[in-house]
């Protein structure tokens, strides 16, 4: 998926460290955000800021940036709350909102106001940040779809999220973003360090090691970069959550706006708030 989900290609991205925004909620009516940072149990709307706040109530860590799980939730919440359209563009009807800043012709969403950050400057989610997440999630989803199509599988019954990053992803947000295919959310689980666990099992259990070797001989390599089917799947997967695929397991949990009907890959520039 590239470095976008690790914060490397995000304007205010950072690694998962104290002060990193890891959880985000946006009110669908007011468009105001509240968030939680690593190292602080309280959500930002419960922070006591300023020199007059009691010492016991003061926040230990102000927001310093956005980590991988934070940017996933931020973009998903922006989509669900109507700030983003299905094609990833900012909703032009909200350009006059206090949470939207226009940087030239490009809008950005104020995730954390200046008073809530360690730098004293607001933390933003920009249009370029959204595009980076769209490209990263589209590559992952398109790869999954290509493998499913080759295997003749139409519906995923279970999804296992491996690695440290997978441990912090909230499945509903990964699905509303279109990062993973539609699946029963109760059957989307984290398995932690699957590679490390597998290596230990192979070392300690001869039968499992032989089973892994036999399975490895059945693996087929697919070069996605030159596969025309992958290219079309990638284009469709850029939309939030997808241009064509349905996500019935999101019904009633995270409402999905209707897909945008504008031509795909339009070069039209985002209009100004005054247009």
DSSP-derived secondary structure letter, 271 = P
Q: Is residue 70 part of a domain?
A: yes
> In which element (H, E) is residue 103 found?
strand 100-103
From the list 159, 139, 151, the residue with the least C-alpha distance to 224 is: 139
Residue 241 near residue 220, CB atoms below 8 Å: no
In this prediction, residue 175 carries a pLDDT of 95
Q: Same structural domain for residues 106 and 141?
A: no
Give the residue numbers spanning the domain of 213: 132-250
Distance between CA atoms of residues 202 and 213, nearest Å: 9
State whether 26 and 105 are in the same domain. yes
CA 240 to the chain's CA centroid: 11
Q: Could you tell me if 100 and 50 are in contact, meaning their C-beta atoms sit under 8 angstroms apart?
A: no
The reply to whether 95 and 205 lie within a common domain is no
Higher-confidence residue: 170 or 267? 170
Q: Are residues 90 and 141 in the same domain?
A: no
Residue 165 confidence (pLDDT): 75
Is pLDDT above 60 for 255? no
Higher pLDDT, 159 or 264: 159
97 and 8 part of one domain = yes
Same domain as 74, residue 155: no
CB atoms under 10 Å from CB of 183, counted, come to: 17
What is the domain count for the chain? Answer: 2
Residue-wise pLDDT for 11-33, tens only, equals 999 999 999 999 999 999 999 99
Q: Are residues 55 and 113 in the same domain?
A: yes
Q: What one-character DSSP code corresponds to residue 239?
A: S
What are the pLDDT digits (tens) for 60-92? 789 999 999 999 999 999 999 999 999 999 999
Are residues 137 and 109 part of one domain? Answer: no
Q: Between 186 and 269, where is the model more confident?
A: 186
Distance CA 14, CA 66 (A): 6
Is residue 134 within 8 A of residue 142, CB to CB? The reply is no
pLDDT beyond 60 at 275: no
The percent of residues above 70 in pLDDT, for the chain, comes to 87
Whole-angstrom distance, CA of residue 216 vs CA of residue 220: 9
* Average pLDDT score over the chain: 87
Which neighbouring-strand residues pair with 66?
13, 21
Residue-level pLDDT at 272: 38
- Same structural domain for residues 8 and 119? yes
Whether a cis peptide bond, with omega within 30° of 0, leads into 241 is yes
| 107/185 same-domain check | no
**In this structure, are 172 and 90 located in the same domain?**
no
Q: Which of 68, 96, 126 is the last residue of a domain?
A: 126
Residue 251 pLDDT level (bands cut at 50, 70, 90): confident
Model confidence band, residue 167 (pLDDT cutoffs 50, 70, 90): confident
């Amino acid at each position: 998926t590239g470095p976008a989900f690790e914060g490397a290609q995000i304007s205010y991205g950072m690694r998962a460290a104290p002060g990193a925004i890891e959880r985000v909620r946006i009110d669908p009516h007011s468009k105001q955000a509240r968030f939680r940072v690593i190292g602080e149990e309280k959500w930002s709307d419960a922070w006591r800021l300023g020199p007059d706040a009691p010492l016991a109530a003061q926040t230990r860590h102000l927001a310093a940036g956005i980590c991988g799980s934070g940017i996933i939730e931020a973009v998903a919440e922006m989509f669900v709350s109507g700030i983003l359209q299905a094609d990833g563009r900012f909703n032009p009807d909200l350009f006059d909102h206090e949470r939207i800043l226009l940087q030239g012709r490009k809008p950005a969403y104020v995730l954390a106001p200046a008073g809530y950050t360690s730098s004293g400057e607001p933390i933003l989610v920009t249009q370029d940040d959204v595009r980076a997440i769209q490209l990263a999630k589209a590559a992952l989803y398109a790869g999954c779809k290509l493998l499913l199509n080759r295997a003749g599988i139409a519906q995923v019954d279970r999804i296992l999220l491996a690695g440290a990053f997978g441990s912090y992803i909230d499945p509903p947000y990964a699905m509303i973003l279109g990062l993973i295919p539609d699946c029963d959310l109760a059957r989307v689980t984290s398995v932690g360090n699957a590679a490390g666990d597998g290596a230990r099992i192979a070392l300690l259990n001869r039968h499992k090691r032989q089973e892994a070797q036999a399975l490895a001989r059945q693996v087929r390599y697919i070069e996605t970069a030159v596969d025309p089917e992958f290219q079309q799947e990638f284009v469709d997967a850029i939309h939030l959550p997808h241009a064509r695929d349905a996500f019935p397991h999101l019904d009633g949990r995270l409402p999905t706006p209707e897909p945008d009907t504008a031509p795909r890959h339009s070069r039209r520039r985002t209009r100004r708030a005054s247009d």
